[in-house]
Structure 1
Amino acid sequence: MAEDPYERFGAVPQFTVTSEDVADGHPMGERFRAAGGNLSPQLSWSGFPPETKSFAVTIHDPDAPTGSGFWHWAVYDIPASVTALERGAGSGQASLPAGAKQLKHELRDVGYTGAEPPEGTGMHHYNVVVHAVDVDHLELDPESTPAVLGFNLHFHTLARAVIVPTAAFDDDL
């Protein structure tokens, strides 16, 4: 299990996230990258606290040369009865479970945008995080950024599950 990238803000219990598509510490397949298909990976989770009322899923690249990283996906208000997102769920609202909401990623489109590290920036790590949330709905403006979602999750996360796949520009491998 990957380290919790949020632990420095206060540790919470961990649960398990798995994927048919990405693995902790391993390179992302081409179809999950921006130039190769731009599909969000399949994710499944288990072992979360019984008092969980909803989930949020975020994918963030802290290695992006921006000073603040790069948000690739932010989904929240996933009903507590849902324990998986299918491959490609980030391609549109119709692909998500009823009630779930997506925010715009760094390129200002709603949904998922794949990994595409710039040349010369080395290996990037993609924090794929499932947050078990203590409320059914987070009261967010639909134009909020993923960072605002993260701020709200700080106060509402019961537990987290993390996997960290990687990617690099072809010449940096």
Structure 2
Amino acid sequence: MKQLYERTSRTRTASEMDKFTRAAIGAHAEEYQLNNLIPSTLHYFEINSVRIHKPGLLARLTGLNDSDAIFRTLVIVGSNYLVIVISGHKKGINVLSAALDSIVIDAPSSAASIENGFHIRGSWTNDEDFAPFYLGISNDPEGRLIFNTLCLAVRESRQSPGRHRRR
């Protein structure tokens, strides 16, 4: 498959999160009655994506192309929830979250074999269905760290009954 985006990933701390993103996550947490989505000791991942190729004519005519050529994705793996924040100039800030114990990761068994990303299926707070989400990551050690961290958190959430408090 042709690579559509050039991605870079890095680990960040809660103190580095901008106030607009923090406010969007806070509003999401309040709307869905989720507690402590951003603990003060949190480390999270930031993925910056830059579109490599111009969208095809059909995608531009139908509006199916991504509206932002450059966008940022934050991956926050908390103690009970996975929070994904996508932000771009045109798309604004969008927040998704799912309980870790509801997540299924559709990916190769080895992080070394992941090239550009993987699918996460879960019961997202803003969707009634068990729905997929494609998480594009960088093809480097930091991208593989995102995959490994999420796999470990999902595995641990299933091994700790009563860890997750449902809404």
Query: Could you tell me the TM-score, scaled by structure 2's length?
Result: 0.28
Higher relative contact order (CA closer than 8 Å, sequence separation 6+): 1
Higher helix share: 2
Which has more strand, going by share of residues?
Answer: 2
TM-score between the two structures when normalised by the length of structure 1? 0.27
